[in-house]
Amino acid sequence: ANFVKVCGGGRPQIPLSCRDFEGDLGLEEMFRLGNTVDAVQAARRNVQLSDSILRFCLTVIPLSRAVYFVCDNILWMGAVGLVDVDKEKWNKRCNRYYYFSLIVSLSRDVYEIVQMLKEETRVQKGQWCKSVNHLENNHVRRDFVWTLRVRAEAFLMLLFQSLKSNPPVLLDIVKNLCDLALPLDKLGIYKTNPGVVGLCGLVSSVLSILTLTHPALKLRP
């Protein structure tokens, strides 16, 4: 009765603010449920991948995010008063599943880098070994530190070339690392100030928009 206003004709009407509230609830709930369904569908598609490591990562990531969305839906229902929930407990669950999905995402990025390094090594095998071979030809291979430094420099150059030629992998790594700041802070694993979390969130949002406007920059299986 508190939400109903009776006008001159005696017909009860819902105030504009209530109608807007109901409309917002419907749109928001549809959006949240849509995210959950999309995550499950992505997991079902990725089960068909031939690469076993990619299949594992790209199945686990959307499934963990689907569980995260479910927890987020429960939190949302508690926030609007539909159910009574322990907000602190469900917040922790949300952040745990989000954190887990990001760790698996970064693991996938590392796997992509390893594959890129293998390919780049095949292309530049002669150049990559040139400096070390030079050391051996000059009989200084016993200098372990020097040899290690040359190998490290060659590896870093190889890594740089690989990431330079594969921007989607680089962008995905940066985005995942930025996203990681929030669950690390919320779970108390690595506390930081709100400014850093906000900046990381901003960078992540910009990168997400960039991959939406330029699909070629989005990392795909």
Q: Give me the mean pLDDT over the 167-195 stretch.
A: 94
- What's the pLDDT score for residue 1? 41
Q: Give me the mean pLDDT over the 129-157 stretch.
A: 60
| pTM of the predicted protein model | 0.76
- What's the pLDDT score for residue 119? 81
- What's the pLDDT score for residue 21? 43
> 177 pLDDT band (50/70/90 cuts)?
very high
CA distance linking residue 125 with residue 132, whole number of Å: 12
Degrees, nearest 5: CA angle 29-178-108: 90
Name the nearest CA neighbour of 179 among 160, 152, 202, 159: 202
Torsion angle of alpha carbons 156, 157, 159, 163, nearest 10°?
140
- What's the pLDDT score for residue 45? 92
pLDDT at position 107 over 50 = yes
> 187 pLDDT band (50/70/90 cuts)?
very high
Distances from the Cα of 31 to the Cα of 27, 38, 84, 85, 188, angstroms: 6, 10, 22, 21, 29
